[in-house]
Structure 1
């Protein structure tokens, strides 16, 4: 009999698992109890890095932030069209450059203070402060002088196109008519934050402030933050001061930090979760065959790719980067590693995004890859410096990295190391460009090709590659926003993609599909390509028996 080896890591993992189960109350069936009490239990991947809407970038953080805060508009979960939220109505000028928002007079902060137009003006100024270093500051760049302020070329925020016309009236002036501007205002980077609570615990630009913690956070969304147990769970409860509290049906939501998909799936089977963040790839065919009513697989507006630090030796040559891209067999990767769930990806923009289909500018071609590598001075990989692929801890990411590691070894003779890090450490490494190559994924913040292409503007907060191209910037920041004809605009995006793929600072791998395990009692979460939920519409309908 093989000896059982107990390591400190295993002890810690066991402790965390037991604490997760205990959260439901002595290991009771959380789903049945939650159905009775109106408490949703949901898997939410890794421990959140933060809950400050102006500095977070992860999907798991956004799920919680969307429960705690609300912007001027919000997406309809069925159509994804912008609907009134804090702004009950708005007018748009004939030239499409000026938006005047009228805020609800009954909108309050969770501490009872009135929510005003000045709260938005101050919050947007904070989000654009160079000292804060928001990675999403470019979401505001369609506003007059917002980019200049964010880049430190303008100190006076009064010159930015955001003006308070009255306690509940906010006017925004754009550089050019921007077709997707209202969609931007549903993104968490544009949410208001409570100035008093922020400044009570530090400066507005302090990224390490504890204002967004239990007991300090003042929000304006349908729920309030009541508990945060690190590496276990976050609990939010219904906010009675929310302007539309009558619509909110859940009494509480518990978000569980579970970065092990097998653990999450087991908790679902044991009646501890209503909804999982993901599903282990090897479990997908099992559920499809045995319990198809419990699994939901949907198209997802997202791409999975590897970002390349273009300053690293060897990887600083575009021929090498292209060789790496050409030597990945995406069809094989999708079929074997992802169980056919994901589609092969050849671009940063997912196909059929608002009718936009990206050009396929390369394909699997190992012979051409070897030729390019030899041309760059590394015939059959000879003399090429070893580099590493960084990914956040998740079994799925590991399997993909191992497959690509083998492909590059077999096809190119290149040695690749694999490095995994926990979510927060991984984010720090990514943000400081402390990597050779990094696992990345991008889920659309709004339904427009621009949301994927603006990742790679020079100096952009989410451009961690070092890629910089003046013509690319001109297209994304100036020409495309000013082009109202869709065909002309999409032609510009095609040009931008050609510029991007000529330099290959990223290696597209596949197009996402979302996959979740969902209890029959969970309602009010219609399917959409952004996997977006409006928590105030979600509810639980007790079942006579759970599968």
Structure 2
């Protein structure tokens, strides 16, 4: 599995991610609560903000423009937020992030745990009028497992399905992939190995069906780029998409379960400035916004209802290991740059939103072996240490023959308020601890993703939100061939450990493999330096009900019943 949602820095977002899975935008906020009560039991007193004036409509700030809404290609949280409302798959996550059958009416699992045979409901329809059938899943899975699709998230399918890698590499025909339509409404999915989180995968965007007729008529190169260039099958439809401004979703009256919709219309705005968001909320123009630290204080003073939850996201610095002229191919230089950042001060003095210093790549909320959280079982693998940072940095300079003046480093970040604020903190830390000047390169979320994909960066401030509740969702993304490995990091031992963990049946042995891999990528090689595990606080108006926000679902309005 290789993609999570890449976080877009609108608040401290999940990847999301989205992403992923997935990557996410803005480090101001990520998710985990229902709008009727905060996940940690904290909720401000009754609000004096009734919300937007439109009946049966919620206006929610998405913060970032979704790059596209093609489930075969999507890797970010913003796109995932929209797709979650307009698409349905075999399973869906409920308000507690537990997978529940959706299109799959019945599921039978083989004795060896590898084959899932599912009978599909027969009343689901695409917005072009065609029925949703097992063939739509076969087309989707075969398409994402083709190199021609150029999906950064293809790994989450081809690494898992029987013969997936062989089909992806072209040594087997797509018909040999572990997905079969036994008839129009019976789907058989076979994995290479038993997967304990298979039902969670079935709820993920990369496992959504795709209507072949629409995909081919619209064209793969533009599918999902506009409201009229996508066919959906979910609880809502896309009625309007004004790029970089808003997306409007309308309740799908032809959907087989319309009562699950929390509201008739959802309008997602895309405000990239924190002050603009707060002003819009106070003016009754938006019903839900993420809050930064200063705004949390302001909200309390104004009596604005706020809710909080611990996100499953991890924000980190990814190094472009191909930048040999800037010393970023050297592990000690990378380690020095990472350890120079005071992550406790970052959380306490800059973020101030419930985020905590990262002690590894896998956050504290992710499940581990035998009922224990992975982080608790494995312990800490990274930490801030200014003196050690200096030593490693100087050692790296000696090893490369470079001077500090030769490096001329830059850090890529989102152009939103919090992204630039955090980058300025890193900039000051590097100057204070290592004596170097680092340039800040802010870009809109979509442009940042494009720069990352093309390797056009030295260091990037990025985040990852989990695709499923297992450490693998964070650790497989930095293998040599993973589409999310934007820094082009490569370590044969790391790759081998991840590959072995994919097939290991003993949960304790598997966890040990993953722990070794995590130490290699974050500590020994420092290709990634984790900064913090994110928390989210948001303001919500009185009118909003039945809104789910969790680390796996930044927004969901389909849990009304």
The answer to whether TM tops 0.5 is yes
Distance 1:233 1:315, change over 3 A: same
Distance 1:430 1:30, change over 3 A: farther
2:147 aligns to what SS in structure 1? coil
Aligned residue number for residue 72 of structure 2: 54
Equivalent pair of 2:233/2:255 in contact (CA under 8 Å): yes
> How far did residue 325 of structure 1 move?
1.4
Equivalent pair of 1:373/1:381 in contact (CA under 8 Å): no
Counterpart Cα distance in 2 of 1:46 and 1:340:
20
Candidates 328, 331, 337, aligned match of 2:344: 331
Aligned residue number for residue 515 of structure 2: 494
Aligned residue number for residue 3 of structure 1: none
Counterpart Cα distance in 2 of 1:343 and 1:484:
32
> How far did residue 531 of structure 1 move?
4.3
Moved over 4 A (4+): 378-381
Candidates 108, 112, 115, aligned match of 1:91: 108
Counterpart Cα distance in 2 of 1:251 and 1:450:
37
Cα deviation code 1:27-84 (max 9, x no counterpart): xx993433xx21111100112211111112221111111111111100111x211101
Q: Which has the higher contact order (CA 8 A, sep 6+)?
A: 2
Aligned residue number for residue 296 of structure 1: 307
Counterpart Cα distance in 2 of 1:538 and 1:324:
47
Aligned residue number for residue 530 of structure 2: 508
Aligned residue number for residue 222 of structure 2: 209
Equivalent pair of 2:313/2:465 in contact (CA under 8 Å): yes
Aligned residue number for residue 166 of structure 1: 183
Aligned residue number for residue 387 of structure 2: 367
Candidates 454, 474, 478, aligned match of 1:452: 474
Equivalent pair of 2:333/2:394 in contact (CA under 8 Å): no
Unpaired stretches in structure 1, ≥5 consecutive residues? 1-28, 540-547
Counterpart Cα distance in 1 of 2:126 and 2:409:
49
5 Å-filtered alignment, 1:95-494, equals 95-140=112-157, 141-150=159-168, 152-202=169-219, 206=220, 208-210=221-223, 212-276=225-289, 278-291=290-303, 294-312=305-323, 313=325, 314-339=327-352, 341-354=354-367, 355-357=373-375, 358-377=378-397, 382-477=404-499, 479-494=500-515
Distance 1:468 1:408, change over 3 A: same
Equivalent pair of 1:82/1:186 in contact (CA under 8 Å): yes
Equivalent pair of 1:197/1:211 in contact (CA under 8 Å): no
Distance 1:495 1:368, change over 3 A: same
Alignment RMSD: 2.0
Cα deviation code 1:188-215 (max 9, x no counterpart): 111112211111132xxx3x31455223
Counterpart Cα distance in 2 of 1:209 and 1:274:
32
Structure 1 length-normalised TM: 0.87
Counterpart Cα distance in 1 of 2:100 and 2:224:
29
Aligned residue number for residue 61 of structure 2: 43
Distance 1:423 1:534, change over 3 A: closer
2:187 aligns to what SS in structure 1? strand
Number of residue-to-residue matches in the alignment: 500
Counterpart Cα distance in 2 of 1:507 and 1:187:
27
* Rg comparison, structure with higher value: 1
Cα deviation code 1:133-174 (max 9, x no counterpart): 111111111111112222x24351111111111111111111
Cα deviation code 1:195-244 (max 9, x no counterpart): 11111132xxx3x3145522332100101111111221111111122121
